[in-house]
């Protein structure tokens, strides 16, 4: 695929990326799985027989549903980790960066997936997990083997605080469960650092050999044709070798949610230069989990670090017009002048789905879809949100994830039958189905033109045909709660989005009209609640139903 679309705009600017969590997307090839797991050594990391093994999705399941993505109209798919992994963090504990977990497929499956995605016009991003490996990764096994091992310095080893072996070297806390970000290794009498689970030791990015080894991983996937990388914990890489304590008032918060060290920026600049030099100009979409737009913006550097950085502040807003308006406006003010693009998402594999966070209402989920997909951003959809899925109820006995994230990782239902299009062969899926799976699945939603799925499809089609909605500038209109309204304009065209967060009808006030720069509120293009087709292209009367969003086309 070419570097950029006509006009020199990179393909990812204002694009829509669809996040697939392969374990939860679809299982299509259980025979292939059995065959692969029967090969000698293949099960080294795989869980023992049982639901976790049988009921997990695979890469072939992703390939078979690429037509769903193409029909929906997204630009790219981001695949969460599918690498060999013991599964303590379901793939984010990588034991081999250059292979596919036999549970999920093999390199041939991945190659077929990439080729088919490309033939459908979809780009493919893979998840690059540079901050840490699994403790079963051969690099760590070797590092741990002795204080004098050749790879000792590939990870972050320290003596106990003040020489006391019983005390962790500093006050950092890990994510997932309460505990220090350090584990003690009896054999060598030293501690190793892990921002996440003890089985996810942090790599030492100040060691040039680590940099080279992880760059070789990028090259491996680029040679297989991928179009870019989602970078896990991009803000975590650089570390002060003195590993100073966090100030006591912040020390309770996991370090992964606040680590922001200058040493990360040269690492990202080097990475960016490498990617930009590649003929396909692969994209770097970084996870920068700092919940502070100003700090996140710094990860774009001077246009020479990440191409895109997730800003998660809007994801933490709730169904709250003030919070959303404020955070979206701030992000735009920070990034637009530099021509940078925010990466925004409503849901992910790490947070409750937004419909669930918003109280379970589909109306609210529809409004949020209109807001996100008419915003100036590269939008990232989490698989299943286009079906309006809610989180599953996961009973205590069925919980698997140490970070409590099972409910949003419920399997995606494709069809009405009890296995919902998964080749389960009598086994249970690895997590329970989401609510209403027998009626709320892809097949029923494609068949129903009024479904939320068709709302997403329409929004994506609109974004494709109206460059102002994809690439245009953003201007918020002066409006008070419960209304959020903004205009996107470019290439001589303008669209306005009006969102009523209230549960009563509302009329767009005259002062909003004043700041619109247009004599009218425009012609209705779509409504989150699907106004009857007859009302489309009619002048918008300015009245929004409860929790309704309307997009209009403004005159000339």
| Binding-site ranges for ligand GLC (CB under 6 A) | 89, 92, 129, 196, 232-233, 287, 349-350
Annotate 261-286 with DSSP letters as a single string.
Answer: -TTHHHHHHHHHHHHHTSTT--EEEE
- Looking at the Cβ atoms of 290 and 455, the one nearer to ligand GLC is 290
For ligand GLC, the closer of residues 16 and 203 by Cβ is 203
Supply 523's token pair: 């012609």
Q: Which residues contact 148 (CB under 8 A, 6 or more apart)?
A: none
The residue with tokens 């070797």 is 142
If the CB atoms of residues 202 and 332 are measured against ligand GLC, the closer one turns out to be: 202
Q: Shortest Cβ distance from residue 256 to ligand GLC (Å)?
A: 7
Q: Which is nearer to ligand GLC, 78 or 221 (CB)?
A: 78
Closest distance between ligand GLC and the C-beta of residue 402, in Å? Answer: 9
Q: How many C-beta atoms lie closer than 10 Å to residue 278's C-beta? A: 13
Q: Which is nearer to ligand GLC, 92 or 456 (CB)?
A: 92
- Shortest distance (Å) from residue 10 CB to ligand GLC: 24
527: helix, strand or coil: strand
* Structural contact between residues 113 and 66, judged by C-beta atoms closer than 8 angstroms: yes
Closest CA to 518 of 549, 482, 550, 477: 477
Cβ within 8 Å of residue 102, ≥6 positions away: 33, 36, 37, 39, 42, 43, 46, 84
Question: Residue 89 or residue 190: which is nearer to ligand GLC going by CB?
Answer: 89
Q: Which residue, 21 or 433, has its beta carbon nearer to ligand GLC?
A: 21
In the complex, minimum distance from the CB of residue 66 to ligand GLC, in angstroms, rounded to a whole number: 23
CA distance 428 to 51: 6
Q: Which is nearer to ligand GLC, 106 or 127 (CB)?
A: 127
Phi, psi dihedrals of residue 436, rounded to the nearest 5°: 60, 25
Closest alpha carbon to 479 in 503, 499, 504, 493: 499
Q: Which residue is nearest to ligand GLC (CB)?
A: 92
Residue 55 to residue 76: CA distance in whole angstroms: 26
Phi-psi bin for 19: left (phi > 0), alpha (psi -120 to 50), beta?
A: beta
CA distance linking residue 319 with residue 321, whole number of Å? 7
Q: Which is nearer to ligand GLC, 83 or 196 (CB)?
A: 196
Chain-centroid distance, C-alpha 33: 27
CB burial of residue 97 (10 Å; 0-12, 13-18, 19+): buried
d(CA 386, CA 353): 11
Output 195 or 506, the one with its CB closest to ligand GLC: 195
CB of 349 to ligand GLC, least distance (A): 6
Residue 119 phi, psi dihedral angles, 5° rounding: -70, -20
């Amino acid at each position: 695929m070419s570097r950029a679309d006509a006009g020199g705009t990179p393909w990812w600017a204002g694009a829509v990326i669809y996040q697939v969590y392969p374990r939860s997307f679809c299982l299509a090839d259980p025979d292939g799985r059995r065959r692969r797991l029967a090969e000698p050594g293949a099960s080294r990391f795989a869980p023992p027989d049982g639901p976790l093994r049988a009921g997990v999705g695979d890469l072939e399941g992703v390939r078979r549903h690429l037509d769903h993505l193409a029909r929906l109209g997204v630009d790219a798919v981001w695949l969460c980790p599918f690498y060999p992994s013991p599964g303590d963090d379901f793939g984010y504990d990588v034991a081999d960066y250059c292979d596919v977990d036999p549970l999920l497929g093999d390199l041939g499956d991945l190659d077929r997936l990439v080729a088919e995605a490309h033939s459908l016009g979809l780009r493919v991003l893979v998840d690059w997990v540079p901050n840490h490996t699994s403790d079963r990764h051969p690099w760590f096994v070797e590092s741990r083997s002795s204080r004098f091992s050749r790879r000792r310095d590939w990870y972050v080893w320290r003596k106990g605080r003040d020489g006391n072996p019983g005390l962790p070297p500093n006050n950092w806390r890990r994510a997932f469960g309460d505990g220090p970000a350090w584990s003690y290794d009896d054999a060598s009498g030293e501690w190793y650092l892990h921002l996440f689970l003890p089985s996810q030791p942090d790599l030492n990015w100040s060691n040039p050999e680590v940099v080279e080894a992880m760059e070789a991983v990028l090259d491996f996937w680029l040679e297989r044709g991928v179009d870019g990388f989602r970078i896990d914990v991009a803000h975590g890489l650089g570390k002060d070798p003195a590993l100073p304590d966090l100030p006591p008032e912040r020390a309770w918060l996991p370090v992964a949610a606040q680590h922001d060290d200058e040493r990360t920026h040269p690492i990202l600049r080097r990475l960016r230069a490498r990617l930009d030099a590649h003929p396909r100009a692969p994209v770097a979409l970084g996870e920068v989990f700092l919940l502070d737009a100003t700090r996140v913006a710094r990860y774009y550097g001077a246009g020479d670090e990440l191409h895109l950085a997730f800003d998660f502040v809007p994801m933490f807003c709730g169904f709250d017009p003030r919070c959303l308006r404020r955070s979206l406006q701030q992000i735009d003010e920070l990034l637009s002048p530099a021509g940078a693009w925010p990466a925004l998402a409503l849901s992910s594999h790490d947070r409750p789905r937004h419909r669930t966070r918003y109280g379970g209402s589909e109306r609210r989920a529809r409004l949020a879809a209109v807001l996100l997909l008419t915003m100036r951003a590269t939008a990232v959809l989490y698989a299943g949100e286009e079906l309006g899925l809610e989180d599953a109820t996961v009973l205590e006995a069925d919980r698997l994830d140490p970070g409590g994230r099972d409910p949003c990782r419920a399997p995606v239902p494709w069809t009405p039958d009890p296995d919902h299009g998964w080749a389960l062969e009598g086994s249970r899926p690895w997590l329970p189905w989401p609510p209403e799976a027998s009626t709320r699945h892809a097949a029923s939603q494609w068949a129903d033109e009024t479904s939320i799925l068709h709302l997403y499809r329409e929004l994506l089609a609109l974004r494709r045909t109206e460059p102002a909605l994809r690439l245009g500038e953003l201007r918020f209109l002066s409006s008070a709660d419960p209304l959020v309204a903004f205009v996107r304009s470019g290439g001589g065209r303008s669209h306005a989005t009006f969102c009523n967060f209230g549960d009563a009808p509302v009329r767009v006030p005259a002062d909003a009209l004043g700041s619109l720069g247009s004599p009218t509120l425009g012609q209705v293009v779509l409504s989150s609640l699907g106004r009857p087709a007859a009302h489309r292209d009619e002048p918008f009367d300015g009245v929004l139903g409860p929790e309704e969003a309307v997009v209009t086309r403004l005159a000339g």
